[in-house]
Structure 1
């Protein structure tokens, strides 16, 4: 369980270093962290444990929601979203909640082609409160 947390943390650090920007958007009391990466980066045993399919044509989208006013406590929320490529083709993202100790992640998968760019629009809902984040990602087939 902690292996996935460690893997995602390491991957986030590596990708953030490469992009020179933290992949986080602050909305009110929430820090919404996001990352999208090829599922082939995940070790087979971790993919199996979390029912993720590994492929050089599949991405993993990882969202975590932390309360920035309460010691970055993980938030229980409903996460939904859409991905749209540059041709305007939309894909609904089906997020699955993963909880490991005090950490909570929301994971979805997305098919892509080499050098395909997707624009993401992710909604995070908790009770009557809904926040939306938007980001883009270019994917490469490794």
Structure 2
């Protein structure tokens, strides 16, 4: 199985298995020429070896954000390399910049960032994705809690 598919499937399965309420673990939006898949979850759900491999912190108060950008009109094509930046806003409207790392493994390209949160906190994510003249905004909210 493709490493990107494995990573996406693992993160979406983990997130889906943890939620007691019916929630769509895989989230995606069509933004211009792209299909953007995204997921934010408590970093304690990462296996220790995966956290080490990607140099990610595992903590009850750290969320991991995973974003993959695919060409919407070309199913089955490799993920897109893009420029990505953004910030997260807590319920008090305090903004924290997100430091994205691009991970490339063969045809797989994904972007990882981490941010802190308090228990039962809904974070709002504001992400700008660009490539050439194309600029799109991804906005979503995620409620996070300690495990």
TM-score with structure 1 length normalisation? 0.90
Runs of 4+ deviating beyond 4 Å: 2-5
CA 1:78 to 1:62, structure 2 compared with 1: closer, same or farther past 3 Å? same
Q: Displacement of 1:11 after TM fit?
A: 2.8
1:6 aligns with 2:9: no
Q: Which residue of 1 aligns with 2:109?
A: 104
State the alpha-carbon separation in 2 of the partners of residues 89 and 127 from structure 1.
30
CA RMSD, 1 decimal: 2.0
Where do 5+ consecutive residues of structure 1 fail to align? none
Q: Which residue of 1 aligns with 2:67?
A: 63
State the alpha-carbon separation in 1 of the partners of residues 57 and 96 from structure 2.
17
CA deviation map 1:67-106 (0-9, x unaligned): 0112243101011111001101101000000112211110
Q: Which residue of 2 aligns with 1:32?
A: 36
Q: 1:44 aligns with which of 36, 42, 48?
A: 48
Contact 1:122 1:133 in 2 (8 A): yes
Q: Which moved more, 1:10-19 or 1:107-116?
A: 10-19
State the alpha-carbon separation in 1 of the partners of residues 4 and 62 from structure 2.
18
Q: Which moved more, 1:81-90 or 1:4-13?
A: 4-13
Contact 1:39 1:53 in 2 (8 A): yes
CA deviation map 1:107-129 (0-9, x unaligned): 00000110011111111010121
Q: Displacement of 1:13 after TM fit?
A: 4.1
Where do 5+ consecutive residues of structure 2 fail to align? none
CA 1:22 to 1:42, structure 2 compared with 1: closer, same or farther past 3 Å? closer
